[in-house]
Amino acid sequence: MIPPLADRLHELGIVPVIVLERASDAIPVVEALRAGGLPVAEITFRSDAAEEALRRIAGEAPDILLGAGTVVRPEQADAAVAAGARFVVTPGFNPRVVDHCLGRSIPVVPGIATPGELEAALERGIGLVKLFPAGPLGGVGWLRAVAGPYPTARFMPSGGVRAEHLADYLAQPNVAACGGTWLVTTAAVAVGDVDGIERLAREAVAIRRAVRPAAERPGA
């Protein structure tokens, strides 16, 4: 049985957020991430190559937990799922996009930046949200502040999150995983630096393992 999305993301700890200008780069990138211990990718709709990149990954690397990010319109959510994405991530809380996904049983991780937006997600039965942009909003301090009034909410902080912040974020009980662009930069993709991508993935996994021992599971 495949664990619920929040639990599977908790096990992985890190979600590489990836912009691909060429769909042909998709497989080498996710293979490097997998080799580094991260069989997960969020392909963002920030380029025209996103849909084809999702399709290639879903077809050639089906073990990758594949998400589509920067989804800001309902039709993008539909296109992402049709291409093989298993979940959708939005940068902000757009009720039209969120309700569209819920109505079609598409797992969605909406972006939120305020307690009000968090309550709108919880009201809809969404327990996992993306805190964005996490760094400018206050990062770990923000997450600690909302833990009391919203004890059931779980977060995927993204935006301003880098390797040096990872341990502090993952130590927070209400954090499922961290989204990060530092693992797969556009510069690394442009020159085909798959060794560098694999190295950064291994380093991130080592941090996760140090903070969250292998025996740890959500709710344990």
How crowded is residue 145: how many other Cβ atoms within 10 Å of its Cβ?
Answer: 12
| Residues 143, 193: Cα–Cα separation, whole Å | 34
| Residues 38, 205: Cα–Cα separation, whole Å | 7
- The sign of the CA dihedral 148, 167, 85, 135 is positive
Sequence-ordered list of residues with C-beta below 8 angstroms from that of 177, at least 6 positions apart, any chain: 9, 10, 12, 13, 14, 15, 156
Amino acid in the structure at residue 53? A
Q: Which two tokens stand for residue 89?
A: 């991530």
Residues assigned a catalytic role? 42, 130
Query: At which residue do the structure tokens 């380093």 appear?
Result: 203
Give the 3-state secondary structure of residue 168: helix
Amino acid in the structure at residue 127? G
